Structure 1
Amino acid sequence: MRVAFASKDGKHIDEHFGQCRSFSIFELNVEKYKWLESRTVYAEDETEEHESRVAHRVEAIGDCTLLFVCSIGNDAMKQLMKDGIMILKVEPESEVIPQMDRLLNLMRERPPLWLIKSLRRAGEWSE
């Protein structure tokens, strides 16, 4: 399953989804996780409509199952949920790696229902 983080530096979750220019993408399975890439959203024109800006970001992480973000607007949240992407809001400046460690431990021990649903969506849960 792929996990996206709204991050300026790839190490901290420090961006509002609507202003995020870069997403750090990880691959996660029950055995391990690994960083895949950083995906950049091009700088929009100030006159570009809000819906279009949201669409660019949703498209950038469309193959991800989970999104970690410190803040997000209602329109973006609705669009991501419609596309099957689970949103996890965390404290600003939370670190990416500890979040990945927690996810890995949850998967190994006793995954909560929200994580099982996300794993099923990614085709990685068969029970």
Structure 2
Amino acid sequence: MKVAFATQDQQRVDAHFGWAKHLAVYEVTAESCAFVEDFAFGDNLAEDGDEDKLAPKLAAIGDCAIVYVGAIGGSAAARVVAAGIHPVKVTGPDSISDILSRLQEVLKGTPPPWLRKALLKGQEKRFDFEEEDQVQS
């Protein structure tokens, strides 16, 4: 799955989603993680109420399942969730590499329901009718 990080320095999650100068994207599995792309945004980002600044960010991370942020406003969070992306707020500046390591450990075990749902992003929904028949028998 692809995971995005709101960052000013490309090393830590240290940015408000709307004000982030960068969104760093990684491909993450239980076994590996790889840097995919850094989306850089201009300096004119700190204007409250400027919803247009969110459109390019949402387009950049549209195929991501999760975005880690230092903070996110209510309307931005609603738009992120509507795009099928799960926002995760970190409590303080946290190293992207540390978050990736922790995420991989969770993926090796039994991920919580929200993460299992995020893992399905972009996959075609399927139903296992054989399994359903066995349960009802």
Identity %: 29
**What residue number does 2:120 align with?**
120
Partners of 2:11 and 2:47 in 1: how far apart? 31
Partners of 1:22 and 1:34 in 2: how far apart? 17
RMSD: 2.4
Q: TM-score w.r.t. structure 1 length?
A: 0.88
Work out whether 1:66 is the aligned partner of 2:40: no
Report deviation, 1:93: 1.1
CA contact (8 A) 2:63 2:122 kept: no
Which ranges of structure 2 fall in alignment gaps of 5 or more residues? 129-137
3-state secondary structure, aligned to 1:121: coil
Q: TM-score w.r.t. structure 2 length?
A: 0.82
CA contact (8 A) 2:26 2:36 kept: yes
Partners of 1:46 and 1:8 in 2: how far apart? 13
**What residue number does 1:19 align with?**
19
**What residue number does 1:105 align with?**
105
Aligned positions of 1:40-119 closer than 5 A: 40-44=40-44, 50-119=50-119
CA contact (8 A) 2:5 2:24 kept: yes
| Count of equivalent residues | 127
TM-superposition CA deviations, 1:70-120 (whole Å, max 9, x none)? 100001000000010000000221111111111111111111101100001
Which ranges of structure 1 fall in alignment gaps of 5 or more residues? none
Aligned positions of 1:22-33 closer than 5 A: 22-33=22-33
Work out whether 1:8 is the aligned partner of 2:16: no
Q: Over alpha carbons, which structure has the higher Rg?
A: 2
3-state secondary structure, aligned to 2:87: strand
CA contact (8 A) 2:27 2:34 kept: yes
Q: 1:110 to 1:43 in 2, by over 3 A?
A: same
3-state secondary structure, aligned to 1:52: helix
